[in-house]
Chains A and B, each alone.
Chain A
Amino acid sequence: MDFAISPEQKEIQELALKFARNEMIPVSQEMDEKGEFPHAIFKKAWELGLVNTCIPAEYGGTGFSSLDAVIISEALAYGCMGMNTSFMANDLALLPIVIGGTDEQKKKFLTPFTQEFKIASFCLTEPGNGSDAGGLKTTLKDGGDHWILNGEKMWITNAGHANLFVVYATVDPALKHKGICAIVVDPKSAGIELGKKEDKMGHRSSDTRGVRFNNVKVPKENMLGKVGEGWAIAMSTLDHSRPLVASSALGGSWRALDLSISYSKERVQFGVPISKHQAIQFMIAEMAMKVEAARLLTYKAAWLCDQHVRNTEVASYAKAFASDSCMQITTDAVQIYGGYGYSKEYPVEKLMRDAKLIQIYEGTSQIQRLVIAREVLK
């Protein structure tokens, strides 16, 4: 058993952390305030090979393992959880193509993402279905030489900037999971209507919108897998992407821990730095313990993916534990900063707002427990 990351992974992590410190942290507060999409930073991260890590080498990608990908994402989330949501959404949208696409589809859809900077969106959730993703209502009808897509999607990350959508839709809602298909859609197609940008509590620099499809014609060859295989593709995607989402929470927790350590050594109360007070020490010890535990779970969930072992259960441990810990750790960071922590002048309140979303998206903390219970009780 080896708990150490490789020297190569260490180098990758250092580059990603340097990028987070130099490019993301200095502007993350302001971009959050303005709700500004991090286009230039996203592009720069793409130029350095820090995004789209799921694209295999044979299609022009970096060919990184899942573990490499979470190490990068953890470091980028250290810089800003909100921006990292936008970056990660690209992988989330490209993964179904990696998992369910034919060689021809991979060449057609993945390779362009390695040649120029492009943005993608994963369109699963609808206004009426979040946790019950299988009950989706968006429909796909056979139009002869093409499919006809109708319906509405909600909370779609990157939707306003996307060059590619992967949409989940059903050929017949009565078939439930068995009718679901995954299909690649060009966002410029006629009949697509974007909703207004959501005004969110956190992750404000990432672009989140509803998307409406009105009789959108989609080429037949854009379907990933066969009719009815969409659900399996979506679930397999989530097994790969949950460690990534966990790593984002982990990166945010790590930042909150680092900030709490340095602030507690500077802030003096009762004649000594507050780090000398046991009340603060216990909070920081708790944070450090949870960061390490979340890291081990997250790395293990990714490592299982790389071993081609089913990781559903551990990925849910990682996602639930890392995001719940992140909420606790960032809340305690605000507590350690006291009144200053509640002010937007200091960086920790943003971390607390950003943490909340990670308990919600890509399977709420409750859904993760449902998955875990189903796995351990079967």
Chain B
Amino acid sequence: MNIFVCVKQVPDTETKVTPNADGSFIETSSIKWIMNPYDEFAVEQALLIKQANAAANVTVVRVGSVKDTEALRTAMAMGADDAILVEANDNLDSYSIAKALKGAIDKSGKKADLIFAGKQAIDDDCLQVPQILAQMMEMPSVAVVVGFEMNGTTVKAKREVEGGALEVYEVNTPCVIACNKGLNTPRYASLPGIMKAKKKPLAQHSLADVGVTDADRRVKYSGFALPPEKPAGKKFDAMDATKQAEIVAQVVSLLRTEAKII
């Protein structure tokens, strides 16, 4: 059984994100990269299946820059067998990423039985790569999954919906599962695991190698800027009873003319 796990490398949650000098992307030079936290649930679920099924092979796939391969190394230190990196700018759009992931999976020569991913990346919060990938792979997909059971070629996936209710889906493999917090408790990479990960194979491709070109871009970022700072609020002192009527009139007028909310 071949299991693929799509992982993304995102800025550490404690990073203070700022736009770069020309506003074309975020400033990446001082960022500490980590594996997208939702992807950790995806890796763990794949490893749980591998534990129960010695023949299973877990491959992690990532599309992004080569500066730091933290996410892939972490996944292999946790227990994944091998990794594929598709070298690309970190500001690709979801469609190009999904197409590159498909290209990398096809190129591996392995037939995917299961594909796991985090439900979303915590940097751009796009929440769509797994679904686009499923469409391209012509596989069913379930997103925001908090429960997973597999019986032969049938997968029962529970997903959270509004109000805390759960929807239960039954899909056949191969399928794409986008994982949410609560699905499992991701393991730590052990120290012997970290040592072993160094010897595990990491294949590297360019975007062209996996058939992705500039023409595949569906979204172009026009610019990155910090949100404007909020101006300080206005204070009205209504402690003086004789002036209250006047102040109320003033507030109502401002809400109409300035804030334009009534």
Complex contacts, B198 vs chain A, CB 8 Å: 8
Complex: A8 Cα to B195 Cα, angstroms: 8
Contact A11 B194, beta carbon cutoff 8 Å? yes
Distance to closest chain A CB from B35 (angstroms): 11
Count class of interface residues, chain B: 10 to 19
Complex contacts, A12 vs chain B, CB 8 Å: 191, 194
Contact A47 B194, beta carbon cutoff 8 Å? no
Contact A48 B188, beta carbon cutoff 8 Å? yes
Contact B194 A19, beta carbon cutoff 8 Å? no
The listed residue (B73, B77, B191) touching A50 by CB distance below 8 A is B191
Complex contacts, A62 vs chain B, CB 8 Å: 191-192, 195
Contact of A15 with B by CB under 8 A: yes
A68 to chain B: closest residue by CB: B191
Complex: A184 Cα to B191 Cα, angstroms: 28
Contact of B189 with A by CB under 8 A: yes
Q: Which of B77, B191, B198 has the most CB of A within 10 A?
A: B191
Contact A11 B188, beta carbon cutoff 8 Å? no
Contact B189 A15, beta carbon cutoff 8 Å? yes
Complex contacts, B18 vs chain A, CB 8 Å: none
Contact of B190 with A by CB under 8 A: yes
Q: Which of A8, A11, A19, A47 has the most CB of B within 10 A?
A: A11
Q: Which of B188, B189, B192, B195 has the most CB of A within 10 A?
A: B188
A63 to chain B: closest residue by CB: B195
Complex: A45 Cα to B165 Cα, angstroms: 37
Contact A8 B191, beta carbon cutoff 8 Å? no
Contact B192 A49, beta carbon cutoff 8 Å? yes
B191 to chain A: closest residue by CB: A49
Q: Which of B73, B77, B190 has the most CB of A within 10 A?
A: B190
Complex contacts, B191 vs chain A, CB 8 Å: 12, 15, 48-50, 62
Complex: A48 Cα to B190 Cα, angstroms: 4
Contact B190 A47, beta carbon cutoff 8 Å? yes
Distance to closest chain B CB from A218 (angstroms): 34
Complex contacts, A11 vs chain B, CB 8 Å: 73, 77, 194
List A4-22 residues whose CB lies under 8 Å from chain B.
8, 11-12, 15, 18-19
Contact B194 A8, beta carbon cutoff 8 Å? yes
List A32-71 residues whose CB lies under 8 Å from chain B.
47-50, 62
Q: Sample 26 A-B pairs with CB under 8 A, ordered by A number.
A: A8-B194, A8-B195, A8-B198, A11-B73, A11-B77, A11-B194, A12-B191, A12-B194, A15-B188, A15-B189, A15-B190, A15-B191, A15-B194, A18-B188, A19-B188, A47-B190, A48-B188, A48-B190, A48-B191, A49-B190, A49-B191, A49-B192, A50-B191, A62-B191, A62-B192, A62-B195
> Interface on A for B, CB 8 Å cutoff?
8, 11-12, 15, 18-19, 47-50, 62
9 A-B pairs with least C-beta separation: A49-B191, A48-B190, A11-B194, A49-B190, A48-B188, A49-B192, A62-B191, A15-B189, A48-B191
